[in-house]
Structure 1
Amino acid sequence: MTDTVCRILLVEDDPIMGESLNDRFQLEGFEVVWCASAGEARATLERQPRFQLMVSDIRLPDLPGDVLFARLQETLAQDTPRTLFITGYGSVESAVDLLKRGAADYITKPFDLDHLIDQIRDLCAEELARLQAAESMESAASSTLGRSQPMRHMATMLPRVAERATTVLVTGESGAGKEFVARALHEAGPDPDSPFVAVNCAALPESLLEAELFGHEKGAFTGATRARRGVFEQADGGTLFLDEIGDMSLPMQAKLLRAVQERTITPLGSETPRPVRLRLVCATHRNLRENVDRGDFREDLYYRINVVHLRIPPLRERREDILWLAHQTLADLAAREGAAPRRLTPAAEQALLEHPWPGNVRELRHCLERATIFSAGAVLDEPDLCDPADPQNPRAGNAGTPEENAAETVPASAPPLADYLQAQEAAYIRQALEHHEWQIARTAQHLGISRKNLWEKMRRHGLQPPHAE
């Protein structure tokens, strides 16, 4: 999905003007990269993700802004960011000509900064809406696996794989989401309402696994008081997901090979083969190629199931998915409880992004589920993500009520009232800014003051967005 924060490339060689615009843009909630020359701007566009807007002065030391724009159109084509030019009165005709050549807008010096911010907001809103509309036209599956490039690429392949492949191998670390991908593959197929049956091969002893896979007739063994269909038959016409196939014993692998190869199964106690028509998805956290080399996995079975191989990267290699998965999980938990989804503070989001997640998606989901159980608030902060039993958790053992915890004796060295009130104002403004994700206009409206007044108070208290500190 497209980020809702507008990314601006500021091209301004005047250090005073550049610093002023850079600071104000950041305070308004934009992500800004400031370049002091046309060459620096071109190099930035080559190595960084796309910007929604470029704000450029016409007069630059190495190359005029209009020439920079023309060259970007030649090299980047449709990836050239929308461009707003800052121009002097004498360059208005040139700016108008640029509008005809595709520039988004221009503003003349001297300009009203608030007016410029309004122009930028309108242009960013239009561009973000355009990008979101373009993304919505992609395959519906592309939004079901994640935001990272590997998962988006995998999602775009799923409809083709689901249509043509009858045997798929999914690999990845424990908790990476192998069953999640298998279900997405099933739902991308021509008959998503057909059966999807999952079984963990490592969770069953070998004595029970054969009957679980292929079924049994009545009286086939002690305790078999009635006939039972195995998972192959249960999944007939749909998808069978065999998890942790790498933990299967060699004798059991030989029996599975025949079922995979001939698409027929013979229940225990029966002599009549039964055909099955299904998509088989096998998964493992092991390196099957190494298992084959060690003699722990049959080579013929390996080649039979490794027709299409989907590798799921661990969560630490696709950090773009962390917050996406977190918000999806919180939405799922809220739907289960019939409540509004919990929100995450910037500190909590940063903590999620910095954690290595050795347990991958499963660990992330358990972390958030635990946090929603032990936290009563609508917003989850960084300490809420910690295990309450962990002595390093700042909130561990804090069993007092908020009133009890706040009822502390004022020390003799308490600051003067004026200093105390200033500190409280700074804390209150910071809280309001974080609540509104550092959007100046919304925060000022919430506080009942003008944007200029809010900006002045932020400067006085030294308040800056997290990415600007």
Structure 2
Amino acid sequence: MTEPHICLIEDDPIMGESLVERFQLEGFKVDWYLRAQEARSAILANDYAVILSDVRLADLDGDTLYLQMLQDGYSLPPFILMTAYATVERAVSMLKQGVRDYVTKPFDLSRLVESVRELTANHDANTHVSDENILGVSTAAQKLAQLVPRIAGRATSVLITGESGVGKEVLARLIHHRADPANTERPFVAVNCGAVTPTLAEAEFFGFERGAFTGADKQKRGYLEQANKGTLFLDEVGELSLPLQATLLRSIQEKHIRRIGAERDIATQFDLVCATNRDLGSMVKERLFREDLYYRINAVTLHVKPLRDRPEDVYWLAQRFISAMAQRLNEPPKSLHPLTQLRLQEYSWPGNIRELHNRIEHACLISPNPILVPSDIFSSDWQRTASQLASFPGEDAALNTYQDACERLYIEEMLIRNEGRITETAKALKISRKNLWEKMKRHNIEAGRLTTVTSTPLP
């Protein structure tokens, strides 16, 4: 059996050596780091079963390292923090953020070893699957995640397609990271092709020498040169002008560029990832996009589905955004009311993940309450919300009371969607008409009253 692999981050040499010696005697494989940034690179490159970190470190506090990696979208193994300066408020806050344990020095080393042993025993069942799950938990997102290791650093070019706001750049950054996880210095140069001024496009992409034209008072490296030994991400590549497409094609093929005003070429080597929300195939037929460039940039094509086609990701993403906002505002994370979860699932999200993030951020900033109700996220939903939340139990309610309230809300929601029609509602709920009538009677639900509540489509 492979020995459990743990990561220790401790800048006190005496404490660090003592912990390493004890855990090795207990049969663990230990990687010990004195600095948080060194540990961060190792965490990305290794499949640790547990991370054990001191809070106060020389370059970056351990709890800050955890929160930063969490906000960046990385899925971390069980994380234990150690400190001699614990406060109840900070411990509670970190435990809410997902830290597995928060131990105070001096601690019982034998007890700590047993805690780590319990966590490593279940390592295979943990949800730690590196950082690919930042794409989502839906089947569509996981299929994309499974492709990333196969193409990262291997495909000559990748084309990512999908509607605006679906997370194409997130996927591009994941491909970039997976190409060389341990090298955090590799450049990732993102270019919004639609925002590049046509008259300055050549200078922006290829750079220029000092004095090359009026106003060129210093040398500048272009995007292609900046991306050397890293990744060049061309977002909205369909917005490139035809003349620039021709120039780019040659540079991409030959891996050489020449700055404006220069006398010789410069070699540049980079991974190319492009993204678009347009149909490049149709653009090729209409002669709006060069056919040779089209086939050059799509050695592999990945399509990111819109959020409406992967509803499993909506709640998951919402929770991540809420946690990130709580960290940013330094306050406890808000929770989503069950009725809010229903609203999130039913909305079509035309703006995709970008819209979801915007609405969650707005709700977290504006709402003074710890629980977000539908009207916090969908402003025109206040009348339905007020009606349906009037008798909902508080957080201290018994489980059966809370379950009954959730069932009532769900039945009422389905009746509203089906305009009070019993047959259609029973079909949607996958129960018989008789069963629906019995539940409505038990919950004192009147279908006619519900149809009078505003059911305007969500904004």
- 1:236 and 2:228 correspond: yes
Instruction: Quote how far apart the aligned CAs of 1:324 are.
Output: 0.9
Q: Tell whether 2:354 aligns with 1:362.
A: yes
Q: From 170, 176, 181, give the equivalent of 2:171.
A: 181
With over 3 angstroms needed to count, the CA separation of the structure-2 counterparts of 1:437 and 1:175, relative to structure 1, is farther
Cα distance between partner residues in 1 of 2:127 and 2:397? 36
Matched, 1:351 2:316: no
Question: Could you state the TM-score of these two structures normalised by the residue count of structure 2?
Answer: 0.57
Residue 152 of structure 1 and its aligned partner are, at CA, apart by 0.3
| Equivalent in the alignment of 1:265 | 257
Query: Would you say 1:338 and 2:303 are equivalent positions?
Result: no
Is the Cα–Cα contact under 8 Å of residues 186 and 192 in structure 1 kept in the other structure? no
Residue 276 of structure 2: aligned partner: 284
Matched residues in 1 for 2:440 and 2:293: separation?
70
Does the residue aligned with 1:432 lie in a helix, a strand or coil? coil
1:199 corresponds to which letter in structure 2? V
> In structure 1, what is the equivalent of residue 151 of structure 2?
161
CA distance in 2, matches of 1:435, 1:170: 47
How many Å apart are 1:278 and its aligned residue? 1.1
Structure 1 position 338, deviation (Å): 2.1
Output the amino acid matched with 1:316: R
Give the conservation status (yes or no) of the 8 Å contact 1:148–1:321: yes
SS at match of 1:140: coil
Q: Superposed, which structure 2 residues align to 1:81-92 within 5 Å?
A: none
State whether residues 342 and 378 of structure 1, in contact with CA within 8 Å, keep that contact through their aligned partners in structure 2. Answer: yes
- Do the aligned residues in 2 keep the contact of 1:371 with 1:386 (CA within 8 Å)? no
Pick one of 361, 369, 377 that aligns with 2:369: 377
Preserved CA contact (<8 Å) 1:163 1:189 = yes
1:144 counterpart SS class: helix
1:252 aligns with 2:244: yes
Quick check: 1:346–1:434 contact (8 Å CA) kept in 2?
no
Letter in 2 for 1:172: G
Work out which of the residue numbers 195, 206, 230 in structure 1 matches 2:198: 206
The CA distance in 2 between the partners of 1:435 and 1:163, in whole Å, is 53
1:428 and 1:250 mapped to 2: Cα distance?
A: 62
User: Per the alignment, do residues 427 and 136 of structure 1 end up closer, same or farther by CA in structure 2, a change over 3 Å counting?
Assistant: closer
Do the aligned residues in 1 keep the contact of 2:152 with 2:179 (CA within 8 Å)? yes
Q: For 1:426-441, what aligned pairs fall within 5 Å after superposition?
A: 427-428=392-393, 432=397, 438=403
1:50-449 alignment to 2 at 5 Å?
134=124, 136=126, 139-190=129-180, 191-387=183-379, 393-394=382-383, 427-428=392-393, 432=397, 438=403
CA contact (8 A) 2:153 2:271 kept: no
State the TM-score, normalizing by the size of structure 1: 0.56
Change (3 A) 1:433 1:172: farther
* Gap runs ≥5 in structure 2: 1-118, 406-438, 445-459
Aligned match of 1:71: none
Question: Post-superposition, which runs of at least 4 consecutive aligned residues in structure 1 deviate over 3 A?
Answer: 132-139, 392-396, 426-431, 433-440, 459-464
Aligned-residue CA RMSD in angstroms?
3.2
Q: Relative contact order: is structure 1 or structure 2 higher (C-alpha 8 Å, sep ≥ 6)? A: 1
Shift of 1:231: 1.5
Q: Report deviation, 1:461.
A: 9.9
In structure 2, what is the Cα distance between the partners aligned to 1:254 and 1:212? Answer: 15
Identical columns (%): 42
CA distance in 2, matches of 1:268, 1:436: 72
Counterpart-to-counterpart distance in 2, 1:319 and 1:242: 28
Shift of the 428–168 alpha-carbon distance from structure 1 to 2, 3 Å rule, reads closer
One-letter identity of the residue aligned with 1:315: L
Q: Which moved more, 1:146-155 or 1:161-170?
A: 161-170
Q: Where does structure 1 lack aligned partners over 5 or more consecutive residues?
A: 1-128, 399-423, 441-458, 465-469
Aligned in 2, Cα 1:146/1:314: closer, same or farther, shift over 3 Å?
same
Could you give the per-residue CA deviations for residues 186-235 of structure 1, whole angstroms, max 9, x where no partner exists?
A: 11121344111111010121112221111111122222111111111212
- CA displacement, residues 38-88 of structure 1 (integer Å, 9 cap, x when unaligned): xxxxxxxxxxxxxxxxxxxxxxxxxxxxxxxxxxxxxxxxxxxxxxxxxxx
**Whole-angstrom distance in 2 between the partners of 1:331 and 1:342:** 8
Give the distance between the partners of 2:267 and 2:382, measured in 1 at CA. Answer: 56
CA–CA separation in structure 2 for the residues paired with 1:218 and 1:435: 74
CA distance, structure 1, for counterparts of residue 139 and residue 401 of structure 2 = 29
SS at structure 1 position matched to 2:152? helix
The answer for the alignment partner of 1:44 in structure 2 is: none
